[in-house]
Amino acid sequence: MSEVKGKRGDKARETRRRIIDAAGALFVEQGYGATRLQEIADRAGVAVQTIYFVFRNKPSLLKELVDVAIAGDDEPVPTMDRPWFAEVTAGPTAKSALAALVAGTRGTLERVAAINEMVRAAAATDPEIRDLWPDQTDPRYVVISTAAKALLKMPGASPALSPREAADIIYALLSPELFLVLTRDRAWPPDNWERWAYDTLCSQLLVRRENPAP
């Protein structure tokens, strides 16, 4: 019996993920408002009633899509409890912490940057979407602020910066908007973006070594 339940659970999770993946692709391609649930159902290979049963409505599906895109899975584990973020806060040096932060952020942005742009556009005209994320502190800034505070305590960090200044610099350079400008609009490979972001943050946040005298 438990094996049967396990197979049913696996099938339900697979169906849920197919719906989320289909919704993400269509919302980004067509826009949230222009996408019908029937189109999502057709792409996911399910009945539209299944979407209503699993997610209740279109806004709830969008909310689930954003949550999964940020996390990379549907496990209820906050970003700051993820293994990659532990590498940031527990790094032996500020340089290694920055490398872990940029690499982890790249993985998140590859999933969520285009979705974030779509949500902003939808929220500008749809009050129901704005209500999904009521005014509050930007969760991305909370994560980055925590990383910045930890990083500045590590060997190699510049003593000239306050935690707020460091967080603001990281927040700007690792933004979804700038990621899309470079990787989508300017066609940078993500590897190039990661290398540039890391080098730029090192120049801004780490102690600068003086060039040796000739």
Q: In three state form, how does the secondary structure of 137-172 look?
A: CCHHHHHHHHHHHHHCCCCCECCCCCHHHHHHHHHH
Q: What are phi and psi of 87, to 5 degrees?
A: -65, -30
**What's the whole-number average pLDDT of the chain?**
91
For residue 6, the model assigns a pLDDT of 59
**Per-residue pLDDT tens digits for 33-91:** 999 999 999 999 999 999 999 999 999 999 999 999 988 887 878 899 999 999 999 99
Contacts 24+ apart (CB under 8 A), 8-13: 13/74
Question: Coil, helix or strand for 42?
Answer: helix
Name which of 13-27, 67-81, 90-104 the model is least confident about.
Answer: 67-81
Average pLDDT over residues 159-168: 97
Question: Coil, helix or strand for 174?
Answer: coil
**Per-residue pLDDT tens digits for 113-158:** 999 999 999 999 888 888 887 766 788 999 999 999 999 999 999 9
Between these two residues, 163 and 127, which has the higher pLDDT value? 163
Cα distance between the two ends of the chain: 77
106: CB partners within 8 A, 6+ apart: 190, 193, 194, 197
For residue 128, the model assigns a pLDDT of 87
For residue 134, the model assigns a pLDDT of 72
For residue 213, the model assigns a pLDDT of 42
* Cα–Cα distance, 110 to 176 (Å, whole number): 9
Residues 45, 81 contacting (CB under 8 angstroms): no
For residue 211, the model assigns a pLDDT of 43
**Does position 210 have pLDDT exceeding 70, yes or no?**
no
